Amino acid sequence: MVTITVNNLNFSYQSTRILHDLTFEIKSGGITCLVGPNGSGKTTLIRCIDTILRPIGTILIDGRNIHDMGRRAVAEMIGYVPQTGARIAAATVFDVVMMGRTPHMGWRSTDEDLRYVEEAIRLLNIEELVDREYNELSGGQQQRVLIARAIAQNPRVLLLDEPTNSLDIHHQLEALSTIQRLSKETGITVIMAVHDLTIAARYADHLMMLKDGRIVGIGEPEDLITEERIREVYQVESRIFMDPEAGLIVTPLRPVAGLIP
Amino acid sequence: MEQSRILDGYLQRTRSRILILFALALLLLLLTGVAATLGSYPISVLEVYATIFAGPGAGSEAGTIVWDYRLPRILMGILTGAALGLAGAVMQGILRNPLASPFTLGIASAASFGASLAIILGAGFVAGGYLIAANAFIFTLLAAALVYGLAQVRGITPETMIMAGIAIMYLFSALTSFLQYIGTSEDVHAVVFWMFGSLGRATWDTVTIAFLICALTFPIFIFYARSINALAAGDETAASLGVAVERVRLIGMGGASLLTAGVICFTGTIGFIGLVAPHITRMIIGGDNRFLLPGTALMGAIILLAADSIGRMIMAPMILPVGIMTAFLGVPFFLYLFLRRRRDYW
């Protein structure tokens, strides 16, 4: 398990400020869901933690500043599942999952590399796809392949950007339960940007709500997801139910009056 | 069992990829023997191998002809084909673009300009017999450095590199046209002939230089094969997998330029191979650069040697420049593979 400490994190694209002075700590593994409207900075924050972007401020993992670490050392520790859409030329599903071993692997793949790849493929239930060309898959299938790639990377921190937005409900449940089980069994720390508040409430151990690059709140999903806060953050009237099995369910009703003419 | 089935496909593919590499190497070896029989002095294929194994200076007439006249041309063909094919595969990989080739960055037009400068004005960096080659070599690397410098202003991405390459290509084309405009018709003819690309100028000296450049760069590319694999998934994903994206791109581009410069300065610009040999090989062997790169080098050598051999036979005793033959031979093969294949490979 690792502790992620973020201090005074700021990020701007050219002159547009995206993240405003974020300071927070994520402890003890589990799943942390990032929620917030479009443009609230969820993806930017995830890309800062993966050191793809160079922010101002510090991100420490177990006390080490990750922006001082080499690319490969970061990749050994942090796995990233981007949003789908990019094509990958001339690669089978197996090849793509195998890419996850890049930071660990030399020119030849070892039996251990192959074992991780095999395990990830089984966890995401994509055995039937292994020999298919990645570009020929549907968006949902590609999403599962990308999750498998990050799992094959065997990271201690797993970052996911909208990992379920092209999955049907069956595969949503399957992928998220796999991630949840993985985080419980291996102690891996998961940070996941999610749009669906019901999903966030159901799978998050901790929730962070962002708006306009600032933290609106951090805490337990039940404390944070309220009808008032959804109105404030999303400008949407909603109703929240408790289901004995599924937990908290958010039903959006309508935009706050006055927003739509 | 499900478990072993996952790996089965991969292991089987790996085995067949290795097999394909061996088959290509064997084909190249056979082709070398056949190519050395071509010419006015009759030698059989077996005699060719016998004289090659006997070594140079064995004294026989056949030995002299093979070693002094035919082998330099053949080896230059092999090195040129391998270098252009490999450089093309690397450029397609690091630029993530199926239309990339060693000439994408304006390298060919820079080489032509360097050669024109030597032929028309007699101006260059090295006096004597290597004037044209040295000019072509230096201007090729100069163009690559210019492209890199320009692209760096906005960050080294495939887009900035291709844009800068297009600008450089037009610049050197215009400069070459200008030289041709002021040159005499004999000079212009010499420039045009240089630009066709030909193996006729090969000697043991030029073969040695080209070989050294290939021997220097090949291992570097093979070493970076995994990194180039990861680049296929995009810059951010590759970076996230621990790849030093800009460094790999710089080394790839620098190495491909050096490799290209090292052969075309002796042969003239030979198009097509660097574009199509990687595609043909990718369709046969797949996209894993650990196999694709050596496979493309072999494939490029085979295509070039075959093209040159046919160019020597088809209108014998007249020899057609190999630069013209490569396209005639390669296009039908490429189209056959491309149209037949259903999979979405790029």
Does A215 reside within a domain?
Answer: yes
**Residue ranges making up the domain that contains A242:** 236-261
Interchain pair B242, A75: CB under 8 A: yes
Nearest CB to A71 within list B3, B223, B243? B243
Q: Give the minimum alpha-carbon distance from B328 to chain A in angstroms, rounded to a whole number.
A: 26
- A221 in the same domain as A256: no
- A259 in the same domain as A141: no
Grouped pLDDT means (10 residues each) for chain A, 261 residues: 90 90 87 94 94 92 91 94 84 94 90 94 91 89 93 94 89 91 91 94 94 93 92 92 91 80 52
Does B141 reside within a domain?
Answer: yes
ipTM > 0.90 (yes/no) = no
- A36 in the same domain as A135: yes
Does B290 reside within a domain?
Answer: yes
Whether B55 contacts chain A with CB within 8 A: no
- A250 in the same domain as A221: no
Interchain pair A94, B242: CB under 8 A: no
Whether B226 contacts chain A with CB within 8 A: yes
Does A231 reside within a domain?
Answer: no
Distance of CA B230 to the CA centre of its chain: 23
Which sign does the torsion angle of CA B311, B316, B320, B321 carry? positive
Taking only residues 123 to 152 of chain B, the set having a beta carbon closer than 8 angstroms to any beta carbon of chain A reads none
- A138 in the same domain as A104: yes
Interchain pair A102, B227: CB under 8 A: yes
Residue stretches of chain B with pLDDT short of 50: 1-3
pLDDT recorded at residue B201: 85
- A220 in the same domain as A240: no
Q: CATH number, domain at A131?
A: 3.40.50.300
Interchain pair A78, B240: CB under 8 A: yes
Whether B3 contacts chain A with CB within 8 A: yes
Nearest CB to A103 within list B234, B241, B287? B241
pLDDT recorded at residue A140: 87
Nearest CB to B233 within list A51, A72, A99? A99
What's the rounded Cα separation, in Å, for the pair B10 and A127?
12
pLDDT recorded at residue B245: 92
Q: CATH number, domain at B317?
A: 1.10.3470.10
- A41 in the same domain as A90: yes
- A261 in the same domain as A161: no
**Residue ranges making up the domain that contains B272:** 71-340
Q: Give the minimum alpha-carbon distance from B14 to chain A in angstroms, rounded to a whole number.
A: 11
Does B263 reside within a domain?
Answer: yes
Nearest CB to A99 within list B6, B7, B241? B241
DSSP H helix total and E strand total for chain A: 9, 12
**Is the Cβ–Cβ distance between A152 and A101 less than 8 Å?**
yes
Does A10 reside within a domain?
Answer: yes
Strands A247-255 and A236-243: antiparallel
Does A82 reside within a domain?
Answer: yes
> Which residues make beta-bridge pairs with A189?
A30, A157
Interchain pair B237, A107: CB under 8 A: no
CB pairs under 8 A between A and B: 106
Contacts for B8 with CB less than 8 Å, ≥ 6 apart? none
* Number of domains chain B is built from: 1
Whether A212 contacts chain B with CB within 8 A: no
**Is the Cβ–Cβ distance between B34 and B45 less than 8 Å?**
yes
- What is the tens place of the pLDDT at every residue in A40-71? 999 999 999 999 999 999 999 988 999 999 99
Nearest CB to B240 within list A73, A80, A89? A80
Nearest residue on chain B to A97, alpha-carbon basis? B230
Strands A78-81 and A157-161: parallel
Nearest residue on chain A to B241, alpha-carbon basis? A75
Whether A69 contacts chain B with CB within 8 A: no
**Is the Cβ–Cβ distance between B196 and B61 less than 8 Å?**
no
Residue whose C-alpha is closest to residue B164's, from B138, B137, B146: B146
- A241 in the same domain as A196: no
Does A230 reside within a domain?
Answer: no
Interchain pair A90, B240: CB under 8 A: no
pLDDT recorded at residue A47: 93
Preceding omega of B317 cis (within 30 degrees of 0)? yes
Interchain pair A130, B6: CB under 8 A: yes
Residue A74: its chain B contacts at CB < 8 A?
242
Strands A157-161 and A4-13: unpaired
- A243 in the same domain as A127: no
Burial class (CB in 10 A: 0-12, 13-18, 19+), A196: middle
Contacts for A177 with CB less than 8 Å, ≥ 6 apart? none
- A244 in the same domain as A217: no
* Number of domains chain A is built from: 2
Does B53 reside within a domain?
Answer: no
**Residues, chain B:** 346
